[in-house]
Amino acid sequence: MEVAIIGGGAAGFFSAIQVKKNYTDAKVIIFEKSQKILSKVEISGGGRCNFTNGCTSIKELSEAYPRGGKALKKAFRVFNNKDVMEWFESRRVPYVIQDDNCVFPRSQSSRTIIDCFINQTKTMGIDLEKGAGINAIKQNGNRLELIFTDEKTPSRTFDKVIVTTGGSPKKEGLDWLKKLNHKIESPVPSLFTFNIPNDPITKLQGIVVEKALVSLQGTKLKSEGPLLITHWGMSGPAILKLSAFGARLLQEKGYQCNIQVNWVNVSNNEMVMEELNKIIYEHSGKFLTSVRPYFLPERLWFYLLEKGDLSAKKKWGDLGKKGLNKLISLLTNDIYMVKGKTSFKEEFVTCGGVSLESIDFNTMQSKVCKNLYFAGEVLDIDGITGGYNFQAAWTTGFIAGKLN
């Protein structure tokens, strides 16, 4: 049996290894259009490679995917994050789980993961051809014919083909799969930071609020987690998660919208009022600047007081009802106007791709083209930050590699 893998990224290498493990006599070739393999693995996590997440339940794992979570929930029963950690450890890649559940190789270097894959493919006899882009796939009886981008390269036929080309920034990049009658969901960016130009908040760049709650005004979309103030606006897990779940909606709005920031992550305003009244009772003679509620960063607290026209020389005991309500609003419903986005580092992630309606998720085989399989980000699956996108690649690659 001859098997082609189109794409030399995470899903491509992992599915190739699975095919060879399941069919030791098969001839397996990975075709990569560029001269570089596993490029996303190399830059992930700032070069450390956050290869999965350490969350402890399949329910929690599947909830990290704005698109594809429901389908993955079933797939994770076949191969999940615990299986990935065991897989790497059994191949001499020990790992560490951080406090935020991000999982990295103990070496803290993505090179460890890349070397593991290269060693596996060499040991197993998997071939790799670089500079080999695929322009089209044609059905040739029960076999599949690959047409190469370089017209001088003769076409080749295979018994089975797995497509692992990753996310495409433009819909046209998926036309070759659309021609085979696959439904394509238009790609739009996911995982990006918010630009808030000319807002005084940007002067607080570098400040991190560990537990903030951010909502998209006029929608039910919200997310919580660390929020980082930058020189262009806002970033951090809370913002990135919101951008992922709101990817399509934000694109429709042209990335112009209002966000509501709850700096203290307490949704019940009565509870916030109780906390502030407690400060008033215990520290009535102290200035507003000397007692910070919820241990907010000092510069942020001073900024919020200034934004609310609350004098630094005012004492807690002199705040009054009007001042109290103003503070509650600033702490729980601070509004900012987003005007544009900034891509999150080089870890490009798209929402969209080959629709899951075109795929039998039990096997990852195409419903419209026999013997053609899919794995990784080419599918309409994407996760939030924290190793989830790689996990989807490992899981779909593992299932596709069974060639059922």
Chunked in runs of 10, what are the mean pLDDT values of the chain (404 residues)? Answer: 98 98 98 97 94 97 97 98 98 97 98 98 98 97 97 97 95 97 96 96 98 97 97 96 96 97 97 97 96 97 97 94 97 98 73 97 98 98 96 98 98
pLDDT score recorded for residue 14: 98
pLDDT score recorded for residue 272: 98
Identify the architecture of domain 2-188+347-400 in CATH: 3-Layer(bba) Sandwich (3.50)
Per-domain boundaries in the chain: 2-188+347-400, 193-343
Backbone dihedral angles phi then psi of residue 35, each to the nearest 5 degrees: -95, 0
CA 180 to CA 336: how far, in whole Å? 45
- The structure's pTM equals 0.92
Strands 143-148 and 156-158: antiparallel
pLDDT score recorded for residue 343: 79
Tell me whether residue 233 is exposed, middle or buried, using C-beta atoms within 10 angstroms of its C-beta: 0 to 12, 13 to 18, 19 or more.
Answer: buried
pLDDT score recorded for residue 349: 85
CA 277 to CA 213: how far, in whole Å? 22
Tokens of 100: 């935020």
At 253 the three-state DSSP class reads coil
Backbone dihedral angles phi then psi of residue 285, each to the nearest 5 degrees: -90, 0
Please report the DSSP string for 340-396 in residue order. -EEE-TT--EEEEEE-GGGEETTTTEESSSTTEEE-GGGBS-B--TTTHHHHHHHHH
pLDDT score recorded for residue 164: 98
Asked if 204 contacts 228 with a C-beta cutoff of 8 angstroms, the reply is no
pLDDT score recorded for residue 346: 54
CA 270 to CA 391: how far, in whole Å? 41
Q: What b/e sequence results for 356-375 when a residue is b if at least 16 CB atoms lie within 10 Å of its CB, and e otherwise?
A: bebbebeebbbeebebbbbb
Strands 160-163 and 372-374: parallel
Tokens of 43: 């830059």
